[in-house]
Amino acid sequence: MAADVQIRQMRPEHLNAVMAIEAQCFTTPWSSGVFSGEVRENPYAQYLVAQTGDGEVIGYAGIWLVLDEAHVTNIAVAPNWQRRGIARKLLRRLLQLSLHEGARRMTLEVRKSNIPAQKLYLGLGFKEAGIRPRYYTDNNEDAVIMWLDDIAAWLERNEQDDG
């Protein structure tokens, strides 16, 4: 369960495991060069990994921090670890990190067809704010834009929840 999973800062040595999860979860995965650039070079990026007690990387998530906003860039959990609260735990840690870094709001895009992810985000307090038509270039699928408008208030309301 998620209680046994540790959330840590993504480091270059995690990239092979992250790329394996990326390939399992997405039809158009990010390249290793993109991930490497995000982790090593992007001053606005923060990436986390979820690891089991023995150090196996089973999920990851990232944000860009720009002014007072955090933008979720990517989140994935290995298929055999999904539906155990790990994505929620990763998002909670991103919210904590975002607030610490001065962000007040968080946004993300999610495929219109990805109903399980939308339910997760809605359950965490995100609200639909619009549609980005043909956002995903692999199949021209629309993206649902979602916002969580007050990170501090959400964390205060959910402070007892460890994810």
By annotation, the residues acting in catalysis are: 109, 121
What backbone phi and psi angles, to 5 degrees, belong to 65? Answer: -105, 115
Q: How far apart are CA 94 and CA 7, in angstroms?
A: 10
CB under 8 Å to 32, separation ≥6 — which residues?
15, 19
In angstroms, the CA 73 to CA 123 distance is 19
Using CA of residue 33, residue 37, residue 39, residue 45, what is the dihedral sign?
Answer: negative
Q: Are 47 and 21 in contact (CB under 8 A)?
A: no
Spatial separation of the C-alpha atoms in residues 121 and 148, rounded to whole Å: 9
The H or E element spanning position 33 is helix 32-40
